[in-house]
Amino acid sequence: MNIGDMIPSDLGIDAEGHMVKESDFKGKPLIIYFYPKDNTPGCTAEACSLRDGYADLRNAGYEIIGISKDSPASHEKFADKHSLPFTLLSDTSTEINQAFGVWQKKKMAGREYMGTVRTTFITDTDHRITHIINKVDTKNSAGQILDIIKQA
């Protein structure tokens, strides 16, 4: 996905097993962040930064959605453990990761594998992408996003 693209209709499965659609957020700009795995250091830092900046992001009018390939049950435990006030969606098939272009070949310790590349998408009220953050500052994700939306 690129700046100017409309996001896909389907966004992922929520904790109750329902498909969440972009139309569920009609008229609200979105912050959609893709992350590799629940309860890993970087992903926890990012989620907690967004939790801590949640009020400011909501006051700016934005809804926050986190997406990874973890199961709904894993997301529920992760959200409870860290008191996350926003929606986490499951994409176990990686179909949504692929639609956004964040399911890519990665390399760690000389091993290549497919995985989610940490990326944040910001949309307008029509759900057209206005900004893409490829170099996410996990410890200051909320501040990074707030800086961008204040300049927009």
Known catalytic residues? Answer: 43
CA distance 113 to 120: 21
Tell me the sheet residues that pair with 108: 111
Q: Is 108 left (phi over 0), alpha (psi -120 to 50) or beta?
A: beta
The 3-class secondary structure across 20-72, one letter per residue, is EEHHHHCCCCEEEEECCCCCCHHHHHHHHHHHHCHHHHHHCCCEEEEEECCCH
CB neighbours of residue 9 within 10 Å: 11
